[in-house]
Homo-oligomer: A and B are copies of this chain.
Amino acid sequence: MAQAAGVSATTASYILNGRAQQMRIAGDTEERVRAAAESIGYRPDRNARSLRTSSTAAIGVITDYVASGMFSSRMLAGANAAALAADHVLVIGETDGDPRVTQLLVSEMLDRRVDGLLFVTRTSLRLTLPAELPDDRTVALNCVDDARAVPSVLPDEVAGGRAAAQVLLDAGVRAGVVVVGVDPTPNAIAGPARLEGISGRLAEAGVGIAAVLDCDWTVDQAFAAVSAHLAAGGRPRALVCLNDRIAMGAYQALAEFGLTIPGDVAVVSFDGSELAGWLRPKVVSVELPFAAMGRRAVELVLDPDPPSQVLVDMPVQAGASVS
């Protein structure tokens, strides 16, 4: 490239890196260099540049199961968009939850001199980050390590819980609120926080929770739990399902017992996944803002002086499951 335009590599470098102005390079020289670059289809080798500048414009992403086809992979989409906007690229490694693989991938990313690292979990949880992760230039996405000074990005679950309660209050519900689902995963954040928000807001309005049905966050279990409740004579005025799969199971159980939504029972859910829109009627769901979280995480990792924690708003997704 250097000689192709009949100039030195330096000049070319300046021009191609947009520092022609700053270096006050002659207009025709610039013209000539650009033309030459164009004609020979010159493309800088980012590896060589990285070697020199020790900056790769790449962000490493280490996930447990995020890429595996779950709704949660929207975090990747958001991160990708933000990375693209910042002229960076994502290097992704999925661990399947295997600590050995995790170690391996962290080393791998570090060897590649990524500019930053995102540690992402499918489910929001408290955990211990791999020791190898550098304290700076790492961001925990959808998880948090209380013992580390690593910034984390989480959904604002408590506020989300309050929002769900508010939806019911706005609809005039004053009793008979049944919560379905108790987070079964140890160290999980979502369940307890949502419940806290729900009961907190209801309590402020002088409304109590009639029952909490304990079940895994699956369609089958939710169906079974709600069915059992109804069979035992329970007649809830409203169901708060801790995620959309639970809502689906609840819908099935209500249908089985001939109860209509929202006529007989109002239903509010969490996640705001596609599934929420597939139910009949569409369920009101407090959205997990995965894309925004991914975006935010990339912003943090690129920020030399990031805040230590970011809570992302959970907007209420409209539906027809509440009168």
A252 touches B223 (CB 8 A): no
| Docked-complex contact A89 and B89, CB < 8 angstroms | no
Per DSSP, are chain A's interface residues mostly helix, strand or loop, or mixed? helix
9 closest Cβ pairs, A-B complex: A69-B74, A68-B77, A219-B278, A67-B76, A73-B73, A80-B94, A46-B111, A47-B50, A67-B77
In the bound complex, do residue A67 and residue B67 qualify as a contact, i.e. CB atoms below 8 Å apart? yes
A43 contacts across to B, CB distance below 8 A: 107, 110-111
Q: Does A35 contact B (CB under 8 A)?
A: no
Assembled-state Cα–Cα distance A85/B74 (Å):
25
Of the listed residues A67, A74, A104, A105, the one surrounded by the most CB atoms of chain B closer than 10 A to its CB is A67
Report A142 CB to chain B, min CB distance, Å: 13
Min CB distance, A254 to chain B, in Å? 12
Cβ-defined contact, B280 with A223, below 8 A: yes
CB of A47 to closest CB in B, whole Å: 5
Binary interface encoding of chain A residues 256-299 relative to chain B, with 1 for a CB under 8 A from any of its CBs, else 0: 00000000000000000111011010000000001000000000
Does A228 have its Cβ within 8 Å of any Cβ on chain B? no
A111 to B57, CA, bound (A): 12
Residue A23 lies at the interface, judged by CB distance under 8 Å to chain B: no
- Once the chains bind, are A111 and B45 in contact (CB under 8 Å)? yes
Jot down 27 A-B pairs with beta carbons below 8 A, ordered by A: A45-B51, A46-B113, A48-B51, A58-B91, A58-B112, A65-B77, A67-B67, A67-B74, A67-B76, A68-B73, A68-B74, A68-B77, A69-B71, A69-B73, A69-B77, A69-B273, A69-B274, A73-B73, A76-B92, A76-B94, A80-B93, A81-B96, A89-B92, A89-B108, A90-B92, A90-B93, A248-B278
> Taking the nearest CB of chain B, how far is it from the CB of A267, in angstroms?
16
